[in-house]
Amino acid sequence: MGGYRIKAVMARRIYDSRGNPAVETDIRLEDGTLGRGMVPSGASTGKYEAIELRDGGGNLDGKNVDKALRNIRESLAPALIGMDARNQREIDGKMIGLDGTANKSRLGANAILGCSMAACRAAANYCRLPLYAYLGGALATTLPVPMVQIIGGGAHAAHAVDIQDFLVVPLGEKTFAAAYEKVVNVYIAARRLFAEQGRPLSLADEGGLWPTGFKTNEEGVSLLTEIIVRAGYQPGKDMAIALDIASSEFYDQEEGAYCLNMEKRKLSREQFIDMLCDWVDRYPIISIEDGVSEYDWEGAKMLTDRLGGRVQLVGDDLFATNVERIRRGVNEGCYNAVLIKMNQIGTISETFEAIDYARGRGYLPVVSARSGETEDATIVHLAVAANAGQLKVGSAARGERTAKWNETIRVEEELGLSGRYPGAKVFLDAGIAIFGKWEKK
């Protein structure tokens, strides 16, 4: 017996979807089983995220990962070899202890996460289970509602507009595959409309259309509403809009102001929140992420007081997939949902803890990719394993995005009659009700 112990840990440099170096880890078990983890990377990275180790210097724009690879080979591998790959918590705990810092800055969250991902893959393969079933058990069968970028902006499109993501969320349908098909129809309609308007069909970092020639940020929201109609769907009934404002990117902390650079306007916190509330009144918006800055807890509370009963308010930079920060949000009444990114916290175990903690307090978890991604589809399995209910991966185009959506299609097929696709129920159960309002129109 045996064979489940870690025999070797290998680390290599690969490249992500932006062409930046990334960490890949292979874990080989005694019986020959292999598990692999590929680590993603953000562009609009939050200040409170676990630290991704980069080498600096002139080569590869300072983004090389040799230090992280060395830490895997010299520090993590010797500690992990001999451990039972099925003991995820023990493995993650060992790495957290070895690192010894609160933000994984010594060994690097990219080094640690690569090993954490590879370990659970190896263990799942050893158990001959799909990753979602290994991580979540027999009742892990919820397919996620997709949140899909149609137009990209912010740091993912050279700040052509200030807002980062203009996304859609399908509200109906009984299966992920049917819901995603509708989203693809919206994406096709977006490309058609852009072409008709003479806009280039360039893609932003996550595969959404590049917002060429926009005069205001709001133009993205109104255009997206029009695109939904063009695709043949009723806005707010079949298809809703989600926004990732990523407002930490344009917040002036000293002045406490939001600087809409492309509009050459500077708004106070109150004015900025007024603007978002006005959009919610006029457009079929179901979800707003990082509506205020990662420093602006007071603004988060104000926004929640005004919109929390109607709209999903997601904390990405504010919470950084960190239980301590989510706890503060819960205590202070900030937002009602948490974006979940594995590399913001750095291990699989802590990612699950963040999901469990959030859900236990009535906050909706939204599992998310990064803007710099690889072919790795672990987050799909994470979303299903945790019955998270929502998945945000970027757009319908670009291979690192389709790697996730296509994997979700496969998982749904594999789950068969066991699979459950919640659709709009995810929002209705949480008391988020834009529906009544928009259905009347």
Query: What residue ranges bind ligand PGA (CB under 6 A)?
Result: 42-45, 164, 244, 246, 316, 368, 370-371
Nearest position to ligand PGA, beta carbon:
42
User: Minimal distance in Å, beta carbon 119 to ligand PGA?
Assistant: 23
Q: Which of 341, 350, 404, 407 is catalytic?
A: 341
The Cα–Cα gap between 20 and 33 comes to 29
User: Minimal distance in Å, beta carbon 239 to ligand PGA?
Assistant: 20
What are the start-end ranges of the E strands in 119-170?
Answer: 145-152, 165-170
The Cα–Cα gap between 72 and 203 comes to 35
Locate 141 and state its tokens.
Answer: 């069968």
Q: Which is nearer to ligand PGA, 125 or 287 (CB)?
A: 287
Residue 183 CB: number of other CB atoms within 10 A?
24
Q: Which of 414, 346, 394, 419 is nearest to 96 (CA)?
A: 346
Q: How many CA atoms lie within 13 A of 19 on its CB side?
A: 2
Query: Scanning the structure block, which residue is given the tokens 């920060």?
Result: 325
Q: What is the DSSP letter of 268?
A: E
Q: Which is nearer to Zn ion, 69 or 338 (CB)?
A: 338
341 is catalytic: yes
Q: Which is nearer to ligand PGA, 41 or 142 (CB)?
A: 41
Locate 264 and state its tokens.
Answer: 């050459």
45 interface partner picked from Zn ion, ligand PGA, none, CB below 5 to 8 A per type: ligand PGA
370 interface partner picked from Zn ion, ligand PGA, none, CB below 5 to 8 A per type: ligand PGA
Of residues 234 through 293, those in contact with Zn ion by CB under 5 A are: 244, 289
User: Minimal distance in Å, beta carbon 290 to Zn ion?
Assistant: 5
185 interface partner picked from ligand PGA, Zn ion, none, CB below 5 to 8 A per type: none
Q: Are 337 and 314 in contact (CB under 8 A)?
A: yes
Q: Which of 206, 249, 353, 373 is catalytic?
A: 206
Beta-strand pair 364-368/390-394: parallel
Q: Which of 246, 314, 244, 301 is nearest to 269 (CA)?
A: 301
Judged by CB under 5 A, which stretch of 134-142, 143-151, 154-162, 309-317 contacts Zn ion? 309-317
Give the residue ranges of DSSP H helices in 20-108.
66-71, 77-80, 88-99
Give the residue ranges of DSSP H helices in 308-424.
323-332, 342-345, 348-360, 378-385, 399-415
190 interface partner picked from ligand PGA, Zn ion, none, CB below 5 to 8 A per type: none
Q: Which is nearer to Zn ion, 290 or 376 (CB)?
A: 290
Q: Does 316 bind Zn ion (CB under 5 A)?
A: yes
Q: How many residues bind Zn ion (CB under 5 A)?
A: 3
371 interface partner picked from Zn ion, ligand PGA, none, CB below 5 to 8 A per type: ligand PGA
User: Minimal distance in Å, beta carbon 183 to ligand PGA?
Assistant: 17
10 interface partner picked from ligand PGA, Zn ion, none, CB below 5 to 8 A per type: none
Q: Which is nearer to ligand PGA, 114 or 136 (CB)?
A: 114
SS3 140: coil
Residue type, 210: W
Residue 84 phi, psi (nearest 5): -75, 115
User: Minimal distance in Å, beta carbon 353 to Zn ion?
Assistant: 20
Q: Which of 9, 7, 41 is nearest to 116 (CA)?
A: 9
User: Minimal distance in Å, beta carbon 167 to ligand PGA?
Assistant: 10
Q: Which is nearer to ligand PGA, 45 or 293 (CB)?
A: 45
Residue 265 phi, psi (nearest 5): -130, 145
42 interface partner picked from ligand PGA, Zn ion, none, CB below 5 to 8 A per type: ligand PGA
Q: Which is nearer to ligand PGA, 99 or 317 (CB)?
A: 317
Rg (alpha carbons) of the chain, rounded to whole number = 21
Q: Which of 60, 59, 54 is nearest to 20 (CA)?
A: 60
User: Minimal distance in Å, beta carbon 318 to ligand PGA?
Assistant: 11
Of residues 159 through 188, those in contact with Zn ion by CB under 5 A are: none
- Which residues of this chain interact with Zn ion, rule CB under 5 A? 244, 289, 316
Which residues are identified as catalytic? 206, 341
